[in-house]
Structures are given as structure tokens and as C-alpha cells.
A and B are shown apart, each in its own frame.
Chain A
């Protein structure tokens, strides 16, 4: 079954991360700040999902990223 949704970040943690990201809560406004904090509940699932931890072990160190290079011909 679906995993239970995580809780949003605490107010203190959220404000700390906003500061690190250069986001100014005074400019954003209280209502939007709170809505954005609410969205942080999705972060743990996103992080786990791209590491496939639900399936067991983290991926091998040698597993490289996808590369998007378009080399000119010639």
C-alpha cells in the first residue's frame, strides 16, 4: 500500500532552509510561506524514490548519470 505521507518540515527547519536558499519570508508573505512549508512533506518520498531505497540497497557507485551531450559532427 501507499506509504504514509511525511510531515512537513518544522517551522524552524523550514526558515533555516529558506535562509540557505536565499528566500526571504518577509517578501514571500505568511500565507505563501505556510503553503510552501506544507509542500515539504513530499520531499522525503522524492529523495527516497530517486535512490530506490524502497527496493533495498542504494545503487552502485559506478552507475553513472544520464548524459545529455550533443557533440558536433566532424
Chain B
């Protein structure tokens, strides 16, 4: 490894892959560097629940030998990643963050991990998740909740909290999360990284603990949009045993990335954060002035790259959020009903309260939510007929303190991610600035299976904003090997 390279954990996954391909970086050295950072920093961050040191080093050694022998598998070969602890890993404990599965050792791998491993990715370990991907930062569980790498007193959001914190703190090059109401894009926003929820059906969910069958999505968390494109390239594609998997052609995502957005038509959904949030959820959901300015600046940046921008009006935000919540709670309760009845004491406080509300929804409530879902899908399809992507807010202020997060924030405050869960559209969270040293972000949503357009817009914006070069103090706090 040339001394000029410095700390290899500062490289994006794509850059690390290029350095490995050029023979400038050893997968073993890169894996050791990440393991050293985990040992030094994760006692404060709590992003991992299981570190696979020996297994990772062995896999890195195998990767190094294969690449030297001229058998490089692709851009992720030798690149260390992490998995949210709801992804099944054969022979490796997978807990879903719950006492209910504290000793669960799967007999199979998640299909997504099968694909990533076949592409040469190295598994560093399993990463902290909110219990069953919905539970919130619960201090009564066996694993302490992950903390925000920009300020460890603050919340990293969830439920893919450990993965987002680890990617943001450079404790892995990339990771896999899941998103039922925003569990990839919320943590991506608060941790200052990129998170992609692909189209429903684009990426297999087989071998991942479900939360809500018709809303669950699997997707990557990365430090750059290019890394997201590389991960999606490996992940996307039909998986017949997953009943929701779609047999749709997979384009070349990296080839879609460009620095300019000439002729791209972008619709901006302003009323959700400028009006609906406060009107429907109260003053606690007021976007900060810094966020409003950052969002406007981001839209002007897109315009300066050649995009044509126009405001778009959709149904009120709450129509999307509550349809998502009713479906999610009903499906999640059905999934956990037996354990709620027979061994409720095993659930953490947050997850019991949140999912438990689903016990009191009626069949009619669920059917009405699914009827509303169809109307909202048709509305989104209409809005996207004459434009290429939608832009909307993500978390509209800096991450709150982690100690103040209770079980009911899910219902009490506005969130901007669920509209793309209930409609199944692809959506990407990209950082747009900082407030009080904590990241801010917006979302780019696209037509079904057009992740390429979403990634193109995100990449061009990222190149113009330069945010991906910034890193939290925690990430910079140790020298490289």
C-alpha cells in the first residue's frame, strides 16, 4: 500500500475497489484497518453486535489470492461491508435485535448476502438494529443502541441504526439496511451518508426478518452515491423464491451517473414540509430555518446542473404516512401475534408498545388503508408522468438527543420517507448540509424500477455539493495503519 494513500478506510467502496484492482491496496490490509477502527471506536458507537474478525481476515486473504491470480470478481471484490442484524447469515447468530431470537443461528444466508459474497464483499460483522426493525433506541435490550457518529449524544435514527453509524464512522465501507417506513433513509440522513430504498420487488427480501410483508425493502447504505450504484448492481435482480421479487431487467447503474442534469425534469414537493408537517403534526414538526434554507439551496444546485425544476402538489403528507402506518402495524402484529400472546415479556418496551397498537386495528381499517394505498400509487404515477424524479424533504432538522426518544415519536412527528414505502417507489437520501454539526438531507424519488434516474440526480448533486468529502470528527479521530 503506497504511503500516499493514507488511511484506506477513508476511501469510498468504489475507490477502495479501484485501488485493490490496481494492486495498490491489499484486501487484507483494508480489512485489518477496519477491524482496528472497530476495536478502537465501537465501544462508544455500539454499531456492531457481532464482529467476525477471524472470518473477515480469512475471506480477505482468499480475495487477495484470487485477485492476484487474475480472478477479480468485480468492483466490490475485497471490500469490507456490514449487515444489519436482521439479515440471515448461515451459522452466524442473527438476533433481529431481540431477546426472542437471542440465540438464533440461521441455517441459510439471506439472498442479498449470497449475492454480495459472490461479488467478493468481505463481511466484517452484524450491525445493531432496532428490535425487529421498528423498536426504537431501547436501553433495556441486550445490545445498547447505536449512536450518531457526528455526536454520540445524539440519535442516529433507525431502524438500520448500527449500519448507518458504522458507514458514517468509517467502520465499514458499506452496509445493508432495511426500510419499511424509512429505516434506511432516516439513518442515512442523520448519519450524513447515502441510503437507497429500491423499488418494491427490485431487491430480494428472502432471508431477512420481515416487519411488514408489503412494505419491507432491502437496500444499501454507503458514503457516496457511486457506492450505492455498485451495491445495487450486485443486489438487483429477480429472485423467484421471494414472492414479491420482480422479473425486471437490470440496467448498468454506474453508467447512468453523470455530472450534469441537462433535460432532467424534477418535481419538488414543498408543501409536505412547508405546510403539512405543522398543520397535521403540530409545532414539534416545524422544519428548522437552517433546513429550509439548505433545501432551497439544494434545489437551486440541481437547477444549476441543468435540471428543470417545478413544484408539485400531492395529497397531504398524513394520507401517505397513516396508510403506511396502518398497513405496517396490522402486518407486523399479525407476524408477531403468537409471541405477543405467549411470551410478551421477551419484547423490548419500544417494540411492544409500537407493534402492540396493531392488535386494536380492525380488518376494515387495514382494507381501507390498502384502498387508500391504491389511490396514492395512482396519484404518484400521475405526478411522475411528466417528470423524471421527485425531490422532497427528509428529516427536517438535526438529529435529537438519543436519551429523549420515546416509543410514540413514530406517530407524533412528521416523517417524509413513508410515501415511497406505501407506493413502492425508489427513493434515495442524500446529505445537503449541516446544522449544529449534525447532517441534514433530502430525498430523490423516481418511477418504479428507475433507480438509475434517482442515482444520476443524486450523484450529480453530490459532486456539486462536495458533502461526501466531509466526515464526522469520530471518523477522523484515529490515524490509519
Contact = CB atoms under 8 A, between A and B. Distances in A.
B357 A70 contact: no
A50 B167 CA distance: 37
A6 B267 CA distance: 36
Contacts of A56: none
A49 B243 contact: no
A50 B360 contact: no
B448 to A, nearest CB: 13
Contact of B323 (A22, A23, A49): A49
B371 A63 contact: yes
B407 A35 contact: yes
Contacts of B345: 27-29
B380 to A, nearest CB: 12
Nearest to A31: B349
Contacts of A23: 340-341, 344, 356, 359
A43 B322 CA distance: 10
Contacts of A66: 370-371, 373-374, 377
Given A2-B281, A29-B345, A36-B353, A64 B359 contact: no
B236 to A, nearest CB: 16
Contacts of A17: 359-360
Given A39-B411, A59-B375, 18 more contacts: A1-B279, A2-B280, A18-B359, A22-B337, A24-B341, A36-B352, A39-B354, A45-B411, A46-B322, A46-B361, A49-B326, A50-B326, A52-B319, A63-B371, A65-B374, A66-B370, A70-B201, A70-B245
B369 interface: yes
13 contacts: A2-B281, A22-B337, A23-B341, A28-B345, A39-B407, A40-B357, A47-B365, A50-B322, A50-B371, A59-B368, A59-B372, A65-B373, A66-B373
B370 to A, nearest CB: 4
- The interface residues of chain B, by DSSP majority, are classed as helix
Nearest to B347: A32
Nearest to A45: B322
Closest 3 CB pairs of A and B: A49-B322, A65-B370, A66-B374
A11 interface: no
A43 to B, nearest CB: 6
Contacts of A64: 371, 374
Interface in B391-449: 407-408, 411
B130 interface: no
Given A42-B408, A46-B322, A28 B344 contact: yes
Given A42-B357, A50-B369, A35 B349 contact: yes
A61 B136 CA distance: 38
Interface in A1-49: 1-2, 9, 17-18, 21-24, 27-29, 32, 35-36, 38-40, 42-43, 45-47, 49
B360 A51 contact: no
A51 to B, nearest CB: 5
Contacts of B201: 70
A62 to B, nearest CB: 10
B374 A63 contact: yes
A43 B377 contact: no
Contacts of B372: 50-52, 59
Nearest to A68: B214
